[in-house]
Amino acid sequence: MFKRLATAAVTAVLIAGLGACGGGGDSYDEGSDYSVDVGQDGGSGAGKPGPDTATTADTSVFGLRDEVRHRAVRTTRATRPRMTKKCTTTTRRVRHTTSTGSGTKRRTRTWYSTEHGKTCKKVRSGTETYTRVVRPEQWCVRLDDVGGDKSRDDVWYQVTSTTYHTAVATDQHQRLDFTPKDTGC
């Protein structure tokens, strides 16, 4: 019983210690470069720079819409080994015994039965043709003045289909904000 109480006490101390070190009350204010304390001590953390770069990293970009481009999927015919499933049946003889009685009156009865089974494995059986994707479908948007920097023009970003269609509906040289999938196109 003492061991159980000691274990519970140590666990409670560890939980309290980890809770104090966690600092889970800070969140990042996207409108500024500061963290805002939303929890524990009534706002004493407001106005301090946020030290955690993981929470301040914002992957969205903005700029003026320049061009849009849709690149269709590119495929080719290719061949690969054709794998088929080959099964073989197996049988094995199993010995069964039962005993009754004890001492000199002990009798043992033995009989045999056959168990059937199947083992399967994949084996190569010629080749087959299939459609291989050489380049996946891409939707791209080109921006000028990326991030408000007048010198960063003609930067291509790969975007989702939804963002692409939003950019198509937007007039040229209008501001666009989006999160790109990748750079270049």
11-15, 76-80, 123-127: which range is least confident on average? 11-15
Residue 52: the pLDDT is 46
Beta carbons of 175 and 152 less than 8 angstroms apart? no
pLDDT of 81: 94
Place of tokens 């805002």: 36
- Indicate if the pLDDT at residue 18 is higher than 90: no
pLDDT grade for 12, boundaries at 50, 70 and 90? low
The answer to whether the predicted template modeling score (pTM) of the entire model surpasses 0.85 is no
| Strand (E) or helix (H) holding 168 | helix 161-169
CA distances from 82 to 46, 85, 164 (A): 64, 10, 39
% pLDDT > 70, the chain: 70
Task: Name residue 62's beta-bridge partners.
Answer: 177
* Least confident span in 14-23, 56-65, 102-111, 175-184: 14-23
- What's the pLDDT score for residue 10? 66
